[in-house]
Amino acid sequence: MADSSAIRRYNAFLLLVAGLGGLLYGVDVGIIGGALPYLEATSGLTAAQLSVIVAAVLLGSVISTLFAGVLADWMGRKPLMILSGFTFVISIPVIALAQGYGPLFFGRLLQGVSAGLVGVVVPLYLAECLAANDRGKGTAIFQWLLTLGIVAAALVGIYFSYRVAAQEKTASIATLLHFKDTAWRSIFWVSLPPGVLFVLGSLLVTESPRWLFRRGKRDDAYSALLRSRSPEQAAIEIDEMESIARAVPAKLHRGRSESLLKRKYVIPFLLACVILACNTATGVNSIIGYNAGILMQSGLNDLSAHWGYVLFTVVNFAMTAVGMVLVDRKGRKFLFVLGTSGIIVALVAVGISFLRTEKVSIDAGNQIQALVSPTQELTLHFDQPQAMQLLSAAGYTGSEIEAGRASLAIIYSYGDFTAATAFVRSDDAASAPIEITRDTCVPSNKIEAFFKDPFADLDAARSAPLKIQKALVGRVPGSSHGWLVALGLYMFMAFYALGPGVCVWLALSELMPTRIRSNGMSIALVLNQLVSTTLAGIFLPFVSKHSYSSMFFLFASFTVVYFVVTAFFLPETKGKTLEEIEAHFARTS
C-alpha cells in the first residue's frame, strides 16, 4: 500500500512539474502585454523597435525549436528541462535591469529560447514518463496552465495599472514617467518565481525511462519506471521496449527504404504545415501581446484597457477548459470548423469597428514637416495644445476630432528607408514625446539594411533629409466603442481557445506519420514560429501606416484559408489510432 501511495504521489508531482512548465510558457507569452504600454511610454524606442522586442520571444522560440529535439536526444529530457527553466530565470534580470534596446532584445530572446525548449521538451517528457492512463491528463494540464500563465501575467499588469492610475492623480509628469519605468521592470521581476519553481521541480524528477533505455541503461530505465508504475507494469513496458529494439534492426535489414516523397508522407506533412502556419496567422500572438495597446487605441483608458486584457485572458483560460472537454466528444474537425468560423466573424467585426473611427482623420504631414529641426530630427510632445495647433494649421474645422482626445501616428523616411511611430494620444499627459532621429529609421550596417530593404541605398540614407510622409491625426473614440472592440476580441479568443487552441497541437502529432514524426513536427513548429515572429514584428509599423482595421482584415483573410483547409481537407481523427490515420493517407495515395 505504501508503494502504491508513493507512486500516486510521484505521478501527482510529475503533473505538477508539467503544470509549472505550462505556466512558465504562458508567462513567457503573456507578460509583455501588461508591460508594453509603460515600456513604450518610457523607453524611447521606436514602433519598429518595440515590435522587435515583442517578437523577440517568438524569434528565440524559433531558434530553440530547431534544436530542441536534437538537444533532448543528446543531453536527456531532464537536463534540457532544467536548462530551459534556468534560461528563463536568467532572462528576467537581463530585461528588468536593461538600459537600452540591445539588452532588452537579448533578454526577450532568452525568454523565447526558454519557451521554445519548454514547449518541446515538457510534452515529450510527459509522453515518455507518464502511464497511458495519465498521459492525456498531463498534456491537458500543461495546456490549461499555459493559459493560466497568461492570466497571471495579465493580473500582474492590472495591479501595476492601478498603481500608475493612483500616481496620475498627484504626481508630476517626471515622477509619473519614472514610476512607469519602474512598473514595467517590476512586472518582469514578479514573473521570476514560476521559473525558479520549475527548475527546482525538474531537479527532483527522474530522467525519461525511454531515453535511458535508448542509451543502453536498461536497469536505470526500469528504476525510473518503478517510480510511476507498479512492478508488473514496469516489467511489461521494459519488455515492449526490448521487443521494439530487436525489431528495428530486422526491418532495416530487409532492403531499400521507402521513399519519403510518397503521397502518404507528403500530403499529411503539407497539411500539418498549412494548419500550423494558419494557426498563428490568425494573429493570436500579436493580439495577446498588443492587447492593452489595441484597447487603448479603441477608446479605453489605461486602467480599463488593462482590465480588458485580464478579461481577455480569463476567456482564454475558461474556453480552453471547455475545448478540452469537447475535443474527444465532438472531434477535432468539428472544433476546428466551429473555431475558425467564429474567429473570422470576430476579426471582421473588430476591423469594421476600427474602420468606422479611422475614417475620421486628417493628414498633418506638412505641419509636422515644418517642425523638423535643422539637424533633421523631430521631438514632439503630442498633448491637447499641440493637437489643437496641428488641427488648426491643417485647416480642420469639423467637430469629430477633439484636440483633447486625438491620436497621432507619423510615417517618415530618410532616403529609401521608411519607418513609423506608434500611436500616441493627446489625453495621455504622461506619454513620452515622439522622437524621430536617423537612428530610428536607418540601419546601422549593410547586413541590417539588406534585411530591411535589399534595394535601398544605405550610404545615401545616412545623409538624406528627414521627410514626413504622412502624419495622421485621428479621433480617439469613447469608452463605449472601446468595450465594443473588447467584446469582439473576447469572441475571437473564445473561438480560438475552443477550436484551434485545443486541437492544433493534437492534430499535428496525429497527422504526422511515424517515420517522419520527429523531423516533420520540428519543421512545422518552426514554420509556425516564423509566421508568428513576422506578424508580431510588423504589427506596430503596419497599423501606423495602414490602420488597425487593415491588420484585422488581413488576419481574417488568413483565417478564411484556415477554415477551408480544415473543413475540406482535414480528416476526422477522433477515436482513431495513429496507425489508422496513417493508413487513411496511404489509401488516398
Q: Is pLDDT of 7 > 70?
A: yes
Which tens digits make up the pLDDT trace of 399-438? Answer: 788 888 888 888 899 998 888 777 788 887 666 788 898 9
The whole-number pLDDT of residue 581 equals 64
Contacts of 312 (CB under 8 A, 6+ apart): 154, 288, 291, 486, 489, 490, 493
Q: Rounded to whole angstroms, how far apart are CA atoms 44 and 31? A: 20
List C-alpha distances in Å: 555 to 27, 93, 305: 24, 34, 22
Which tens digits make up the pLDDT trace of 535-556? Answer: 876 777 777 677 788 889 999 9
pLDDT band at 256 (very low <50, low <70, confident <90, very high): very low
Instruction: List the Cα angle 352/353/355 in 5-degree steps.
Output: 60
- Can you give the C-alpha Rg of the chain in angstroms? 26
Average pLDDT over residues 133-146: 67
Q: Is pLDDT of 225 > 50?
A: yes
Which tens digits make up the pLDDT trace of 435-446? Answer: 898 988 888 777
* Average pLDDT in the chain: 81
Structural contact between residues 353 and 488, judged by C-beta atoms closer than 8 angstroms: yes
C-alpha grid cell, residue 544: 501606423
If one compares 327 and 77, the residue with the highest pLDDT of the two is 77
Structural contact between residues 306 and 579, judged by C-beta atoms closer than 8 angstroms: no
Q: What is the pTM of this model?
A: 0.68
Q: Is pLDDT of 504 > 90?
A: no
pLDDT band at 262 (very low <50, low <70, confident <90, very high): low
C-alpha grid cell, residue 259: 521513399
Structural contact between residues 462 and 443, judged by C-beta atoms closer than 8 angstroms: no
- How many CB atoms sit inside 10 A of residue 4's CB? 9
Average pLDDT over residues 142-165: 79
Q: Is pLDDT of 257 > 70?
A: no
Helices (H) and strands (E) in the chain, counts: 24, 7
Beta-bridged to residue 455, according to DSSP, are: none
Which tens digits make up the pLDDT trace of 38-53? Answer: 887 787 777 667 777 8
To which residue does cell 532621429 refer?
437
| Amino acid symbol at 567 | A
Average pLDDT over residues 324-347: 86
To which residue does cell 518503478 refer?
226
Q: Is pLDDT of 362 > 90?
A: no
To which residue does cell 488568413 refer?
558
Considering 181-190, 244-253, 541-550, 568-577, the range whose residues carry the highest mean pLDDT is: 181-190
Helix (H, G, I), strand (E, B) or coil at 485: helix
pLDDT above 70 as % of the chain: 87
Helix (H, G, I), strand (E, B) or coil at 320: helix
If one compares 70 and 197, the residue with the highest pLDDT of the two is 197
Which tens digits make up the pLDDT trace of 63-89? Answer: 888 788 778 878 888 999 999 999 999
Q: Determine whether 353 is exposed, middle or buried from the number of CB atoms within 10 Å of its CB (0-12, 13-18, 19+).
A: buried
Q: Is pLDDT of 136 > 90?
A: no
Average pLDDT over residues 483-506: 88
- How many CB atoms sit inside 10 A of residue 172's CB? 10
Average pLDDT over residues 379-397: 87
Q: Is pLDDT of 522 > 70?
A: no
Average pLDDT over residues 277-283: 88
The whole-number pLDDT of residue 305 equals 81
At 410, phi and psi to the nearest 5?
A: -115, 130
Considering 129-143, 246-260, 489-503, 562-576, the range whose residues carry the highest mean pLDDT is: 489-503
If one compares 347 and 521, the residue with the highest pLDDT of the two is 347
The whole-number pLDDT of residue 67 equals 82
The whole-number pLDDT of residue 266 equals 76
Structural contact between residues 473 and 394, judged by C-beta atoms closer than 8 angstroms: yes
- Indicate the range of 249-253, 342-346, 356-360 predicted with least confidence: 249-253
The whole-number pLDDT of residue 91 equals 93
Structural contact between residues 489 and 312, judged by C-beta atoms closer than 8 angstroms: yes
CA atoms within 13 Å, Cβ hemisphere of 147? 27
Which of 441-465 are b and which e, b meaning 16 or more Cβ less than 10 Å from the residue's Cβ?
bbbeeeeebeebeeebebeebeebe
Q: Rounded to whole angstroms, how far apart are CA atoms 180 and 182? A: 5
Beta-bridged to residue 410, according to DSSP, are: 471
The whole-number pLDDT of residue 1 equals 40
